[in-house]
Amino acid sequence: MRAGSCLAMLCLAWGALAGSGYYVEECNVAGPVRLVHESQLLEESPGRAFRPDSVTLCLVTDDGDTLVYSDTAGMAESGLGSISTLVDWLPRQRLWVIWRMEWDFSDWLLVSGRDGRTWRAIGRPVASPNGTRLLCAYSDPETAHMNSGLEIWRVGEDGIVQEFLAIEDLRAPTGARWLSDSLIAYEMMLPRGAASDDRRVRGELRLTSRGAWETSEETVSPSSVTSPVDYGDGPGLVLEYREAEEQLLEHPGCGASRPGPDTLCLVTAAGDTLLFWDRDPIDPPGFECLHWLVDWFPEQGFWAVRQVGPEWLTVMLISCSTGTTSPLISRPVLSPGGTRLLCAYRDLMAGFTDNGVEILRIEGDTVAVEFSDITCVWGPSSARWSGDSLVLLDLVFSGWSNHMLNPWSVPGRIELCENGRWVLTREAGVDR
């Protein structure tokens, strides 16, 4: 029996197990990837991948060797423990993908199903259309605990070979995807306060006739953010919020400005000025509190300001008329009729932020909560309006048990009944 390779760990950002609880989904920015429960992968590989107990993962190679990945205790207490989760099997490449996580560390291990050789990647791999290459991308510009960048592997008969690696210091890749077997599209964004004023560039990675990957980039102006509801605070989303603010600040009727890089000002209809300082000492010394204007609803008369600390976040809904503030669990999305707001946020592991869904009715300068479930054991995903009286979503369950993280989801709906109450239901017959 041969022990599985345990490679040097890289530090995860603050949000890995603290604020977000689904960090891998947001920071792995190469796509698309499939989310599959580990138990399904084990069922699909009888005798080749199994768990003899809840804290041990075993993989059997074509050569007959057994690779053992043992979870170690004390993860939450000391940060020295670790867990290993099988997150994918790539049959054409004959590679297992293992996410190995510690309290402040994380690795993606690509393990050969033929002989057990192991490679460390910067993110979860996505195969090219013909399966001959793998694309990995990861984004962590805020803390730089993990490598942000792009990586390409070539798949051969004897294993995989790294063809391209670009680690970024300030920029953050997002939306990396295969356009063909020799062409990759991506975008790069800069954190606010960086030396350059260019917030975003659009790039391509192209495989030349010489067998080398060449990069070409062009600066693009920020576009409006139209994502329905935010489900976490991964770095990719943080950069989108900054981009959304830039659009709003340029609008003459918004009443928002930044006299300095660390100060956000909102002027109400009554002429009062609301100030938000990015470095308010509301946490222990050395910790910052950042603010972004993420939305403006001119017809309803509200601003939405996102406030982020090291291990928490909140959204403030602010009346443009009076400056009255209402706390929200996430960035709000208007119903088609413009009379209600939908908020959804997922934080299944740490519980530092409210996890769940809220629906609020707009009443003049304030809002009234019509539906709130923020103590649920599931987390929302893809929550969206389907008319003014129906919200569709997926209910994500962490599958966390005995140091194992195996997320799975079922479809759900929140519907407004004739008695004026919102009722949550989930698809019948889907259980774990």
Which two three-digit tokens encode residue 17? 């197990």
C-beta separation of 141 from 171 below 8 A: yes
C-beta separation of 132 from 155 below 8 A: yes
Amino acid at residue number 279: R
Residue 340 shares a structural domain with residue 307: yes
Residue 339 shares a structural domain with residue 379: yes
* Model confidence band, residue 399 (pLDDT cutoffs 50, 70, 90): low
Tell me: pLDDT of 307 over 60.
yes
Residue 185 shares a structural domain with residue 274: no
| Domain residue limits at 26 | 2-219
Domain count, the chain: 2
pLDDT of residue 231: 38
Task: From 219, 247, 271, give the residue that closes a domain.
Answer: 219
Beta sheet of 159-168, edge-to-edge order: 126-127, 133-138, 148-156, 159-168
> What number is the average pLDDT over the span 51-77?
84
Which two three-digit tokens encode residue 217? 């980039």
Residue 210 shares a structural domain with residue 279: no
Residue 56 shares a structural domain with residue 192: yes
Residue 261 shares a structural domain with residue 190: no
Q: Give a yes or no: residue 432 inside a domain.
A: no
Task: From 192, 219, 246, give the residue that closes a domain.
Answer: 219
Give the rounded percent of residues in the chain with a pLDDT score beyond 90.
43
C-beta separation of 29 from 38 below 8 A: no
| 3-state secondary structure at position 140 | coil
Tell me: pLDDT of 32 over 70.
no
* Model confidence band, residue 79 (pLDDT cutoffs 50, 70, 90): very low
- Mean pLDDT of all residues in the chain? 78
pLDDT of residue 63: 92
The angle subtended at Cα 78 by Cα 75 and Cα 79, nearest 5°, is: 55
Which two three-digit tokens encode residue 402? 């005995």
Q: Give a yes or no: residue 225 inside a domain.
A: no
Amino acid at residue number 416: L
Residue 279 shares a structural domain with residue 155: no
pTM: 0.54
d(CA 140, CA 74): 26
Residue 160 shares a structural domain with residue 301: no
Least confident segment among 116-125, 168-177, 186-195, 230-239: 230-239
- pLDDT tens-digit map of 113-152: 999 999 999 988 999 999 999 999 988 765 556 778 999 9
pLDDT of residue 377: 77
Those residues whose C-beta lies under 8 Å from the C-beta of residue 332, and which sit 6 or more positions away, are 295, 304, 315, 317, 341, 342, 343, 360
Residue 168 shares a structural domain with residue 245: no
Hey, how many other C-beta atoms are within 10 angstroms of the C-beta on 224?
A: 9
> What number is the average pLDDT over the span 181-188?
91
Tell me: pLDDT of 15 over 70.
no
Residue (of 109, 163, 172) closest to 137 by Cα position? 172
Tell me: pLDDT of 189 over 80.
no
Residue 196 shares a structural domain with residue 65: yes
pLDDT of residue 2: 32
d(CA 388, CA 99): 40
* Model confidence band, residue 106 (pLDDT cutoffs 50, 70, 90): confident
Residue 151 shares a structural domain with residue 265: no
Tell me: pLDDT of 237 over 50.
no
Amino acid at residue number 413: R
Task: From 219, 249, 282, give the residue that closes a domain.
Answer: 219
pLDDT of residue 121: 94
Residue 215 shares a structural domain with residue 254: no
Those residues whose C-beta lies under 8 Å from the C-beta of residue 197, and which sit 6 or more positions away, are none
Tell me: pLDDT of 178 over 60.
yes
Q: Give a yes or no: residue 229 inside a domain.
A: no
Least confident segment among 44-58, 181-195, 323-337, 375-389: 181-195
Those residues whose C-beta lies under 8 Å from the C-beta of residue 326, and which sit 6 or more positions away, are 316, 317, 318, 360, 366, 367
DSSP line for 173-222: EEEEEEEETTEEEEEEE--TT-SSS--EEEEEEEE-TTS-EEEEEEE---
Q: Give a yes or no: residue 431 inside a domain.
A: no
pLDDT of residue 309: 73
